[in-house]
Amino acid sequence: MLRALIWDVDGTLAETERDGHRVAFNGAFEALGVPWRWDVDAYGRLLRVAGGYERILHDMASRAEAPASQPEREALARELHRRKNALYEAHVAAGGIALRPGVRELIDECIDWGVMTAIATTTGRGNVDALLRANLGEHWESRFRAVVCAEDAPRKKPDPQAYRLALQRLGIEADEAIAIEDSPNGLVAARAAGIATLVTRSAYFADCAFDGALAECDDLASPAPLRSSVVRGARGPVSLRSLREWLAFAAGGGWAACGGRAEGVGASQGNR
């Protein structure tokens, strides 16, 4: 039985990476007089490294002009990351980044029907607060039964720490939840915690393989067919009803266990 949806943030709730975090990093470089800039493609490659602070340190390793000692590099990375977060939060607070299609509707549907929602992210709480305050209002946190951020779960995805802590705070078992993710690292983290995962592909991970996902969609509101190893004929838009059906079907062994007799399961488009 589906009792909770657990949401990733960056790339999942909103397209924050390309036009939010990347731009803020470049602003931080400029503010400190650091002669580096991350273009769209370069930042996409850097996303293989989880965590903004860690991303800066990784990039420094290839920069001849980076500080020579590790303590100096770490100090610079901390200050760049601090400034980047401030710039990002200001941009988001000004309404610079909207939620992705279908996100608010699915959260509202869960609230209406008593299904818990939670957040499991390894981005900082300030970033999460800025994004959701701008899009859901001052009392956004009342919509979520649990909010797990970097301060709570410092081990970055693909480590499952954030998801395991979310399950603990929700008081449920892994098979009673569905995670919603956009990246391969996020999928690995959720699956390592035993949680079935819906992937809503974001700009930077549109062409990645998501082996083991419950289903994959371009966005939650799209009526297009979904890729799914569990159900044949699954289509969007994603609703609470379809998620319940897919989870129940997966628990029963999925398409393979039915010998091909389950075509169309999960394709219904009711709002509940």
- Give the residue among 250, 247, 206, 240 at the shortest CA–CA distance from 220: 240
> DSSP states of 193-245 as a string?
TT-EEEEE--GGGTT---TT-SEEES-TT--SBPB-SS-TT-BSS--HHHHHH
- Give the residue among 257, 173, 164 at the shortest CA–CA distance from 4: 173
Q: What's the half-sphere exposure (Cβ side, CA atoms, 13 Å) at 251?
A: 14
How many Å apart are CA 148 and CA 244, to the nearest integer? 24
In a 3-state reduction of DSSP, which class is residue 171? Answer: coil
- Phi–psi pair at 108, nearest 5 degrees: -65, -40
In a 3-state reduction of DSSP, which class is residue 178? Answer: strand
Would residue 10 show up in a list of annotated catalytic residues for this protein? yes
How many helices (DSSP H) and strands (DSSP E) are in the chain?
Answer: 10, 6
Assigned token pair, 31:
């503010």
How many Å apart are CA 183 and CA 210, to the nearest integer? 8
Would residue 59 show up in a list of annotated catalytic residues for this protein? no
Helix (H) or strand (E) holding 152: none
Residues classed as catalytic: 8, 10
